[in-house]
Amino acid sequence: MNKPANEIVMNAGSMDDVMGAEQPVAEVRLDRKNKLAAALRLFGKFGFDEGVAGHITVRDPERLDHFWVNPMGRSFKQMRVSDLLLVSHTGEVVEGEGLLNGAAFTIHSQIHMSNPAINAAAHSHSVYGKAFSALGKTLDPLTQDACAFYDDHVLFDDFSGVVLDNTEGERIAAALGDRKAAILQNHGLLTVGETIDAAAWWYITMERSCQAQLLAEAAGTPRLIEHEVALHTRETVGSPLAGWFSFKPLYDVIVAEQAELLD
């Protein structure tokens, strides 16, 4: 007898199992780097790139005050595991060759330092996220997918230019708190997760939710999902495990299509 889909997800394992708590550190590191390179390729495939803007990070499993990040100037579409930089929380590139994006360091270092539960963060200048951010509001619970963010994301409404000052990174991290995402007004989207898988998935589905809301509002007056229903739906589609599991088919496809990313 087939099990219901939600039961399968809930039985997929604990977050400790997902994050490799019992695996050797070298294996966990390689898995995180593989997923990071794949997430960047997916961002490129979905058109989230905008020149040299955009960055995804994942915490190193051994040196917890270091994170892996894409080098500035390397296309998302061409990213390989061997291209990734290991950066300390003080901004030192300790492994890899390439340029460190100043905004990536400013934002991500403060997020990683502020919350040990956050192991990955994603930010880019995707079209619908940028457009929605200009409205100066949070997402409404219009769809099942959008409910993943219901009462679990914030609006950071203090745009002051390119984020190159640590104090602004600190303010973004403080505004984010323990939520999974932030809409950076007049800037774009930022998502975080316990796993690189979840952080990347939250970004992808948040971008699509922004698109859906923009379309719905352009067509008429959307009807919101009721509060209790939205909260209940978030428990299913918005959990850390659901975020990790939702990324898996995308990872499998991009690796099958572009296996060279693992080099």
pLDDT tens digits for range 135-166: 999 999 999 999 999 999 999 998 766 655 66
1 within a domain of the structure (yes/no): no
Question: Does residue 201 carry a pLDDT above 50?
Answer: yes
In a domain, 6, yes or no: no
Domain at 255, CATH number = 3.40.225.10
* Helix ranges (DSSP H) in 51-125: 102-114
Looking at the 3D structure of the chain, how many domains does it have?
Answer: 1
pLDDT tens by residue, 57-75: 999 999 999 999 999 999 9
Q: Is the per-residue pLDDT at 121 higher than 80? A: yes
Structure tokens at 106: 């400013």
Mean pLDDT, the chain, whole residue set: 91
Mean pLDDT of all residues in 252-257: 98
Q: Which domain holds residue 103?
A: 24-262
Residue 32 lies in a domain: yes
Q: For residues 177, 181, 184 and 187, what is the CA-based torsion angle, rounded to 10 degrees?
A: 150
**Considering the domain boundaries, does residue 12 fall inside one?**
no
What's the length of the chain?
Answer: 263
Distance between start and end Cα atoms, the chain: 41
DSSP string, 29-40: HHHHHHHHHHHH
**Phi/psi class of residue 47: alpha, beta or left (left: φ > 0; alpha: ψ in -120 to 50)?**
left
Element (H, E) at 69: strand 66-69
Q: Using a pLDDT cut of 90, give the percent of the chain over it.
A: 83
Question: Per the domain annotation, does 4 fall within a domain?
Answer: no
Q: Is residue 230 part of a domain?
A: yes
**Does residue 15 form part of some domain?**
no
Structure tokens at 257: 């299509």
The closest alpha carbon to 150, from 226, 243, 241, 242, belongs to 226
How sure is the predictor about 22, in pLDDT bands with cuts at 50, 70 and 90? confident
| Structural domain includes residue 9 | no
